[in-house]
Homo-oligomer: A and B are copies of this chain.
């Protein structure tokens, strides 16, 4: 069945979607993207959702048999109809339940069907956890490879290498088996030339990794770039992007993610891990008919997979579920809540048993604080919140401006060059400063760390006064020269990270935002923390410190400031609140620190919202023109359905099909002359009383099929959508009955319905289109695209930026 001729049309709205293939800011050749089989085409019966007309038939025929291949499926870059999908699933479920009474085999089938969701979650958890472990281990090894190699085995990373070492050595990380490149090549590691050689090797490795990454992405899976969260949000809201969650994307994203992280670019693996987990979920859906054939059910699985992704990214299963609920998901019934939780737990435990960091923790930056905080410390915490909010808003604006520039100018034509230049700059700037040279997660881990007695890092070089030390508790101490050096280096690192991240996020490599944002916040927080600590140490007699911070007491924990700063910046960029606080809570494990985190996250969100309403993901969704109907924002304008519906005042009237008076030829003419995705069916043109709604795709397939297989169907055959077709003179050709493809329960609203209610209906029920009536007569149609355009227009944005339907 050749459908090339029929373009994916928009429902009764006239914008053409020429540029629809531009996803994530990159032109995509679909044939190359992913040759996933068109799953949605092999699907179950068109279901009895259409109402009475099919009840008799459907019970007789096998419900798994295909009445007509293609009927009821979607084309790429189209929006699904949630109501229809959920009805189809209920039909399927009903059929299986009814059958289960007939035989033991059917009963077993019914039970296995009921448990398939849990089984799927188990698989997703196992796969996502394993992949996360693999990514962690590889990235760790390759990051160290930039600095040197292990003689005991090149596959050992630095830490592992020194663990395996039998010889004794003084400094914890300077074992004889680990050779820096200069030691390996020149035979010595000190001196200017060795430094330059190491520098050179560092940059070369970084460039190699990042170029390999961008070439792989460009060559094999263009969808593998970016963080993937904006697209996943859009897909979960009911949009179809074939191949975005396919197996090629999974393989390439996993590989290139390791490369990109190892290259030292200012990006993280946390966002892309969500994409990887969703790919796992989508691919594993193929194992179960229930999920393979139903777009709505599959999206429930993807919501859970997103939770599993965050769970392994941060070692926070509960935070992952809340992230999926708060940030990513669109339709999140309670069943999905339970399953997400299960998947997130399985994933976390799989990762823990792989133990990528050798400390039975799920993340590199797990922390344990011991000291309580004082109420007055809320002031610096709120300051950090303000900083985070401002940085978030600044970052979003700059990044979107840069991405728009990339999209609209010739810059976008040279993604490889862009990656090369950014990597080179990053690597050259990063090497001299030890805090940018180390991987960003290690940096965060060091910043979160509360200095103990044995800590040898520069950040912990305090002037020790062992007389005042009691037990394990270290009092606040004067900062030594190491701390001051570290402060300067951190300040430089902060400036570098702030700017380079703007140019990094959006390049054609997998890139997450969580880690760079957290790094910026953690640096700022640690700087502030040390400042407050020293202030309290030198001026503990000041009124603000007296009473809670006497001399020799440990009252300020700079690590906590770093953590609060990280939460603030992450909150400013993503506008997460509860899930952010819960993730951080799971990292620290203490209820104590929820209040500082909450204060910072809330302040950050308010400040950032005051500057610009959108979080980074929503901004990218808008930049790319995806049809995403935001569930968080209330539509607050006073327009009515009649202002939004098509046709507008001076447009030609709505294209309709009558229920029993049009011929095959008439209908084919309408289909050829218009590009709409569906047509209302009315009693007669004169009365305009609505009978139902028929989809263009179903109509084309059915007519074509009837012409081929059914006797007596010619161009002059009458198409009849009613139950009982009017008697015709015997000479006339036989009637084509199409009641089975007619949706007898289209959603309707009156023309006076306020748009806020229409938006609510679209959002809550997941509609694709809605018909508008006045006093019982059909007036027009509103599609999801019309709603989105209207919202954009009301927000003074370009309504034409909404590309897809």
Contact = CB atoms under 8 A, between A and B. Distances in A.
A351 to B, nearest CB: 12
A637 B97 CA distance: 11
B581 A349 contact: no
A609 B482 CA distance: 62
Interface string A579-594: 0011001100101001
A648 interface: no
Nearest to A337: B578
Contacts of A341: 577-578, 581, 598
A748 interface: yes
A326 B318 contact: no
A773 B746 CA distance: 11
Contacts of A745: 641, 749-750, 752-754, 757
Contact of A598 (B335, B345, B689, B764): B345
Interface string A20-52: 000000000000000000000000000011011
Interface stretch (A87-95, A414-422, A560-568, A695-703): A87-95
A634 interface: yes
A597 B637 CA distance: 48
A337 B194 CA distance: 56
Contacts of A349: 595
A177 interface: no
Contacts of A273: none
Residue from the set A326, A341, A765, A777 with the largest chain B CB neighbour count within 10 Å: A341
Nearest to A690: B776
A744 B634 CA distance: 22
A338 B589 contact: no
B598 A97 contact: no
Contacts of A213: none
A778 B776 CA distance: 8
A265 interface: no
Given A582-B318, A752-B745, A94 B51 contact: no
A382 interface: no
Contacts of A585: 318
A225 B634 CA distance: 39
Interface in A260-314: none
Interface string A304-335: 00000000000001100100011000000011
A756 B87 contact: yes
Interface in A407-449: none
Among A86, A90, A97, A591, max chain B CB count under 10 A is at: A591
Give the interface size class of chain A.
Answer: 35 or more
A477 B51 CA distance: 69
Contacts of A692: 750
Contact of A757 (B87, B348, B761): B87
Interface core residue of A338, A602, A691, A749 (most chain B CB under 10 Å): A338
A649 interface: no
Contacts of A764: 764-765
A636 B87 contact: no
A754 B747 CA distance: 12
A697 to B, nearest CB: 21
Interface string A617-642: 00000000000000110101110110
Interface string A53-65: 0010000000000
A775 B585 CA distance: 57
Contacts of A581: 341
A759 to B, nearest CB: 11
A83 interface: yes
Interface in A735-778: 744-746, 748-750, 752-754, 756-757, 760-761, 764-765, 773, 775-778
Nearest to A642: B52
Contacts of A49: 754, 757
A205 interface: no
A342 interface: yes
Most buried by B among A49, A87, A578: A578
A331 to B, nearest CB: 10
Given A744-B752, A760-B765, A765-B761, A578 B690 contact: no
Contacts of A753: 51, 744-745
A589 B760 CA distance: 40
A713 interface: no
10 contacts: A48-B638, A317-B594, A318-B318, A338-B577, A338-B578, A342-B598, A348-B591, A589-B589, A746-B750, A776-B778
Interface of A: 48-49, 51-52, 55, 83, 86-87, 90, 93-94, 97, 317-318, 321, 325-326, 334-335, 337-338, 341-342, 345, 348-349, 577-578, 581-582, 585-586, 589, 591, 594-595, 598, 602, 631-632, 634, 636-638, 640-641, 683, 687-692, 744-746, 748-750, 752-754, 756-757, 760-761, 764-765, 773, 775-778
Given A87-B756, A589-B591, A689-B775, 10 more contacts: A55-B638, A317-B594, A337-B578, A341-B578, A342-B602, A691-B775, A744-B753, A746-B750, A761-B765, A776-B777
The 7 closest A-B pairs by CB, nearest first: A689-B776, A51-B752, A745-B753, A744-B752, A776-B776, A764-B764, A745-B750
